[in-house]
Structure 1
């Protein structure tokens, strides 16, 4: 029987998960796996589309490479979890209701909020109108079509973080006829150790990517980007990867949020203002001993797992345990056959150890491919152990 048509127990405890990104999917599949024999609990996952977006591969989609169609309802089929397709338009944390775009009202007893971040296109004039983003597979496909029709010209990638570096390298490799300029306030690989950073820079040079560091884009025009120093760079295409923003729905719902709009959580990932709400992934401001976690798939999936385990504990009358997480690595692809992998300490500072070249590329591909098969394994058996397959360490929490 399809998961969307499972019978609903009238008195069921309703767990509603918003967002089927890496964190939200982890929460949904873990809950389904752990609650198979609980007919008194209803799990529903809300997402705007049925296709799972592989955010780790969007720079590949953006250069015209075909990826597998991963279906969220198909993964949930047989688990007992329901899939609800729709855009979330409002959350009322006091009334415990969620509204979606077809005017449906969804009620919950426990909410897992996983509406993650997107590229911030509002902070700089002209970005919304004249720049491409990698916010979704559809956005990436629009970029791929534009690049394929360009023929020649200059592509400016704004943002020298990991998304910007991977995108610039991918575009330069797939479209050697184009001039690619990577613009950012920091040098690419700034968080890596000196040798890994040097390798990354040499790889970009080999691909023909021109790097402009220490500069800030203050305006995007139809044919150029303007810099803070008064200079401009002519551009036929602009890809915007500078900064992220989260949905304003959490703040509008009355949840306590930080200065970036992320839900402030306690040690167990519950909202400090509404403990029936768990926040996961990019949507959460999760403090660890080394500071607030930054949004990555590496950290997002474990937050979803922990929220699921905490909900199960609460349903059994037990107290949720604190979430503890340490980073493990920073893998960066440099086209299809090259990469650099910087291994890190738990606080994300770089270790001396790193990988480069084809070995690193294979490592990176294994990391990138791991989430979806991991969901399949979770579906049959809840995750256990302290090591996460695509990187990151978190506390053993399986009972």
Structure 2
């Protein structure tokens, strides 16, 4: 029986791990499945550019993994059961094979981070982030609506900030 590797998330970390494993391991002995809720690869490091008006092509994960032997499962992870070594998923796309449980021998969690407002009043209603395409486009729309010379505050210290 093949060793089943499941990678949760197809951002930079998940895609990197899956592609490296696919190059290093024998397809006769291993099966690599990447689970991601969205069909496109998000270049998170460039989302600030999208938010400020530059166009960034959304590369399809099917194209990214084409020819690698990596199976792509478009689904949202709903639970992980380490005792049974299964991941429960809900369908993200009708063509992905439905909701189910995926068995694994090795599991990589590369689902990434998310924004936390830390309970600060007003953050959820008034602040913007660039953690995904939808949120970057929301910020872009807001910036486009401001008049010339308008001011905006930046409240983070990462490279994007």
TM-score class normalised by the smaller sequence: 0.7 to 0.9
Q: Is the 8 A contact 1:58 1:140 kept in 2?
A: yes
Contact 1:20/1:47, CA 8 A, preserved across alignment: yes
Which structure 1 residue ranges, 4+ long, deviate > 6 Å from structure 2? none
Q: Show CA shifts across 1:103-131 (max 9, x none).
A: 32111111011111122224422212221
Name 1:134's counterpart in structure 2. 130
Q: How does 1:255-266 map to 2 (within 5 A)?
A: none
Shift in Å at residue 146 of structure 1?
1.4
**Which of these two proteins has the greater Rg computed from alpha carbons?**
1
Q: Report the equivalent of 2:9.
A: 19
Q: Which residue of 1 aligns with 2:53?
A: 64
Aligned positions of 1:70-109 closer than 5 A = 70-102=59-91, 103-109=99-105
Q: Is the 8 A contact 1:98 1:106 kept in 2?
A: yes
Q: Is residue 163 of structure 1 aligned with residue 160 of structure 2?
A: yes
Partner of 1:256: none
Task: Give the SS at the match of 1:162.
Answer: coil
Does the CA-based 8 Å contact 1:119-1:134 persist in structure 2?
no
Structure 2 stretches lacking a partner, 5+ long? 92-98
> How far has the Cα of 1:135 moved from its partner?
1.2
Gap change, CA 1:98 and 1:131, over 3 Å in 2: same
Structure 2 Cα separation of the partners of residues 148 and 46 of structure 1 = 34
Task: Give the structure 1 partner of residue 142 of structure 2.
Answer: 146
> Which residue of 97, 102, 109 corresponds with 1:113?
109
Could you tell me how far apart the structure 1 residues matched to 2:125 and 2:114 are?
A: 16
Counterpart-to-counterpart distance in 2, 1:94 and 1:128: 36
CA distance in 1, matches of 2:7, 2:80: 12
Give the TM-score normalised by structure 2.
0.87
Deviations 1:37-60 (A, max 9, x none): 432311000111121111111110
SS in 2 for 1:112: strand
Cα distance in 2 for partners of 1:107, 1:125 equals 42
Aligned length: 153
Q: Any conservation in 2 of the 1:122–1:128 contact (CA below 8 Å)?
A: no
Query: What does residue 31 of structure 1 align with?
Result: 21
Q: How does 1:176-255 map to 2 (within 5 A)?
A: none
* Alpha-carbon distance in structure 1 between the residues aligned to 2:44 and 2:36: 15
Closer, same or farther in 2 for the Cα pair 1:87/1:122, shift >3 Å? farther
Tell me the residue number matched to 1:392. none
Residue 198 of structure 1 corresponds to which residue in structure 2?
none
1:69, distance to aligned residue in structure 2 (A)? 2.2
2:27, 2:142 → 1: CA distance? 50
- 2-structure distance, mates of 1:14, 1:25: 16
Deviations 1:121-171 (A, max 9, x none): 24422212221111101110111111112225331211233222xxxxxxx
C-alpha distance in 2 between matches for 1:128 and 1:86: 26
Matched residue of 2:125: which SS? Answer: helix
Higher relative contact order (CA 8 A, sep 6+): 2
Give the distance between the partners of 2:122 and 2:79, measured in 1 at CA.
Answer: 28
**Which blocks of at least 5 consecutive residues in structure 1 are unaligned?**
1-10, 165-399
Cα-Cα RMSD: 1.6
The offset of 1:73, in angstroms, is 1.2
Partners of 1:79 and 1:135 in 2: CA distance: 27
SS in 2 for 1:83: strand
